[in-house]
Amino acid sequence: MLRKFKISIDGKEYLVEMEEIGGVPQPAASIPPAAPAPTQETTPAPVEITPAPVETTQAGADAMPSPMPGTILKILVNVGDSVQENQPLMILEAMKMENEIVAGKAGTISGIHVTQGDMVNPGDSLITIQ
């Protein structure tokens, strides 16, 4: 029997289907409805969230894509840096292994589209080299 779950990771929602393997299917537990809690009209205090400054830019069609899903551990270059072909640009952790993302061509970094700690999927834009 396939069961569907909606999972939210870092603000992105994913729909996941899982197949129950083995065991005896359990009937849905019948939970008696709880008595409605008394409602009080209270207004929560507003919380002010100040986003941290991010030095990312919008990705164009020429941006380097992520080769695999993972987490950005470290960014080794800055916008404006000159890079050589095969120079390490960032470290991507995937399946408990650290992978170097290297420059596919020589040039100047014109945009970094991720920050340290970001989770990326295959094809997500990482960096642009002009």
The total number of structural domains in the chain stands at 1
CATH, residue 75: 2.40.50.100
Tell me if the pTM is above 0.85.
Answer: no
Q: Is residue 4 part of a domain?
A: no
Q: Is residue 115 part of a domain?
A: yes
Residues 81-93: tens digit of each pLDDT: 999 999 999 999 9
The alpha-helical segments, DSSP class H, found in 3-113 are none
Give the domain range for residue 89: 64-129
Residues 32-90: tens digit of each pLDDT: 666 666 666 666 666 565 544 445 555 566 788 999 999 999 999 999 999 999 999 99
Residue partners of 76: CB distance under 8 A and separation at least 6:
88, 89, 90, 91
The alpha-helical segments, DSSP class H, found in the chain are none
Structure token pair of residue 102 = 């290297």
